[in-house]
Amino acid sequence: MEHTLRSIAAAMGLVRKVAIGCVCWIICISSASAYKRLAGDWTYQASPLESHIVVCEKGVPPGTATIIKEAAAKWNYARFKFVFDADSCEPDSTAFYVYFEPGGRDPAYTTTIKSGTPENQLSMCKMRFNADRNWNFSLNDPQPNQNDLASVALHEFGHCVGLDDLPMSGPVMQGELLLGTKLRELQADDIAGRNAIYGPEF
Ligand SMILES: [Zn+2]
């Protein structure tokens, strides 16, 4: 009996410690900027990010490109915007390119390429969505077993802006999004990260 009580007390102590730890964690995150920058950006351009972006709709439902473009547009503000050329599945070497292809572990990944001097100049952004995933290609809520395309695209364009993954949940730039959930609007931390690169709104 005594042993049992001590065990329960010990367990309660553990629970209390964990709870306090959680409170601290939440306060720490809400009171400080968390965004992380990639090692490159587009600030060297006169009109940053006003470059050709091409979406390939091959193998996906009509309207997919629209969902992707609407997600990109949420990053737009006075200092830059994403500009899209006509949809095509024949990218040239200078185009930003967004496409679906089967295979791989992650639902999506974005490759940013740096070139030029100084070395922090981004020159290309290539976005690949995993065609093997069960995507929600609509703006309805995702089913429990679906990846939400609008949310994932918004996150991937954050990499094109020049922001890195974050190890916590909350901002769009969080490193993972659970199946069946959505995160389709920029959060204060995402906006702070973008503005830290390109300047405040005006
Ligand atoms: Zn990411």
* 115 SS3 class: coil
In which domain, by residue range, is 166 found? Answer: 52-198
Average confidence (pLDDT) over 106-126: 84
CATH (domain of 190): 3.40.390.10
Domain assignment present for residue 173? The answer is yes
- Measured CA to CA in angstroms, residue 124 lies from 8, 157, 162, 175, 198 at distances of 58, 12, 11, 21, 17
Q: Is the dihedral of CA 55, 61, 62, 67 positive or negative?
A: negative
- CA-CA distance, 144 to 56, in Å (whole number)? 27
Of residues 90 and 95, more confidently modeled: 90
Of residues 41 and 114, more confidently modeled: 41
Domain assignment present for residue 28? The answer is no
Average confidence (pLDDT) over 79-105: 87
Q: Is the dihedral of CA 166, 49, 188, 155 positive or negative?
A: negative
At 32 the pLDDT is 64
Task: Name which of 116, 112, 114 is nearest 156 in CA terms.
Answer: 112
Q: Tell me how far the alpha carbon of residue 128 lies from the centroid of ligand 1, in angstroms.
A: 12
**Residue 7 pLDDT > 60, yes or no?**
no
Domain assignment present for residue 26? The answer is no
Domain assignment present for residue 138? The answer is yes
Q: Tell me how far the alpha carbon of residue 46 lies from the centroid of ligand 1, in angstroms.
A: 26
- pLDDT, tens only, 28-64: 444 468 999 998 899 988 877 777 899 999 999 999 9
Domain assignment present for residue 103? The answer is yes
How many folded domains does the chain comprise?
1
Q: Tell me how far the alpha carbon of residue 14 lies from the centroid of ligand 1, in angstroms.
A: 34
Mean pLDDT score across all residues of the chain: 83
Q: Give the percent of the chain with pLDDT over 70.
A: 82
Q: Tell me how far the alpha carbon of residue 168 lies from the centroid of ligand 1, in angstroms.
A: 12
Q: Is 95 exposed, middle or buried (0-12, 13-18, 19+ CB in 10 A)?
A: middle
Instruction: Specify whether the CB–CB gap between 146 and 156 falls below 8 A.
Output: no
Stated pTM of the model:
0.82
Q: Tell me how far the alpha carbon of residue 8 lies from the centroid of ligand 1, in angstroms.
A: 42
Average confidence (pLDDT) over 62-72: 96
Domain assignment present for residue 46? The answer is no
**Residue 22 pLDDT > 50, yes or no?**
no
Domain assignment present for residue 19? The answer is no
Domain assignment present for residue 188? The answer is yes
Of residues 31 and 124, more confidently modeled: 124
Per-residue confidence band for 197, with pLDDT thresholds at 50, 70 and 90: very high
